[in-house]
C-alpha cells in the first residue's frame, strides 16, 4: 500500500524521507481530490494487469526505465537533480514501479504544500496533466518502472514559472479539481 504524507522541507538530501515528526499522513482520498490516482498491482504476473490498465485508459505505448547510479554513471547526480526540479507535463504521467523505490512529490492545491508519495514495486501512480510535481530516488538509489503513453513515448517537463501558471493544461487541471487559475 502506498504511503503519502506532507513533505517537511528541510535542507537535507532530497533522497531522505523528509517526514514530519510526528508524521502528517495524507489519505488516498486526499490524493484523489487533487487528481492523483493509485493502484496496487502485484509485480508477479503484472503484465496482464498493466495491459488492462492501458486498454482502460487508452494508452497505446510503453517503455521501461531504470534509474540507477550504475546505469547513469557520471550523469547520475545531474539527472537526479533534474528530476527533482518542480515541473508539469501536458500529458498525464503514469508509472508502474517494477523494482526499487523512490518518491513522487506533488503540489496540493490550493495550499501549495508538497505531498510526498513513497513508491515501491507494485505501485501504479497516475499524475494528471498540469499538476506540479517532481521525482527522486530514495537512499536505495535505484528504481525501475514501466511508463505508459497515450501516443508516442515522450517526457517533456515544463519547469514551474509564472508562465506555467497560465499554461492551458495547468488551468484545466485547476478547473478539474474545482479551483480557478
**Three-state secondary-structure class, residue 132:** coil
**Three-state secondary-structure class, residue 62:** strand
Which is nearest to 148 in space by CA: 103, 67, 82, 91? Answer: 91
Q: Are strands 158-159 and 87-88 parallel, antiparallel or unpaired?
A: antiparallel
Of 125 and 150, the structure prediction assigns the larger pLDDT to: 125
| Residue 171 reports pLDDT greater than 70 | yes
Task: Return the C-alpha torsion angle 115, 131, 142, 12, nearest 10.
Answer: -40
- CA separation for the pair 175, 97 (Å, rounded): 29
Q: Return the C-alpha cell found at 141.
A: 538509489
| pTM metric for this prediction | 0.95
Given pLDDT bands bounded at 50, 70 and 90, which one contains residue 181?
Answer: low
Strand (E) or helix (H) holding 169: helix 168-176
Strand (E) or helix (H) holding 97: strand 93-107
Cell 517494477, located at residue: 98
Q: Return the C-alpha cell found at 24.
A: 502528517
Give the tens place of pLDDT for each residue, 14-67: 999 999 999 999 999 999 999 999 999 999 999 999 999 999 999 999 999 999
Q: Return the C-alpha cell found at 175.
A: 478547473
Give the tens place of pLDDT for each residue, 54-101: 999 999 999 999 999 888 889 998 989 989 999 999 999 999 999 999
Give the per-residue pLDDT at 151: 83
Amino acid at each position: 500500500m502506498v504511503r503519502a504524507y506532507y513533505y517537511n522541507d528541510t535542507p537535507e538530501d532530497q533522497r531522505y524521507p523528509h517526514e514530519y515528526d510526528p508524521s502528517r499522513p495524507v489519505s488516498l482520498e486526499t490524493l484523489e481530490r487533487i487528481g492523483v490516482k493509485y493502484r496496487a498491482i502485484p509485480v508477479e504476473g503484472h503484465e496482464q494487469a498493466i495491459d488492462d490498465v492501458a486498454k482502460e485508459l487508452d494508452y497505446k505505448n510503453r517503455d521501461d526505465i531504470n534509474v540507477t547510479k550504475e546505469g547513469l554513471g557520471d550523469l547520475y547526480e545531474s539527472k537526479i537533480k533534474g528530476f527533482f526540479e518542480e515541473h508539469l507535463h501536458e500529458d498525464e504521467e503514469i508509472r508502474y514501479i517494477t523494482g526499487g523505490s523512490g518518491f513522487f512529490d506533488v503540489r496540493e492545491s490550493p495550499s501549495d504544500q508538497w505531498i510526498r508519495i513513497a513508491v515501491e514495486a507494485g505501485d501504479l501512480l497516475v499524475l494528471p496533466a498540469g499538476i506540479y510535481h517532481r521525482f527522486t530516488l530514495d537512499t536505495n538509489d535505484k528504481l525501475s518502472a514501466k511508463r505508459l503513453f497515450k501516443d508516442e513515448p515522450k517526457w517533456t517537463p515544463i519547469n514551474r514559472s509564472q508562465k506555467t501558471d497560465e499554461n492551458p493544461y495547468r488551468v484545466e487541471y485547476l478547473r478539474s479539481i474545482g479551483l480557478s487559475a
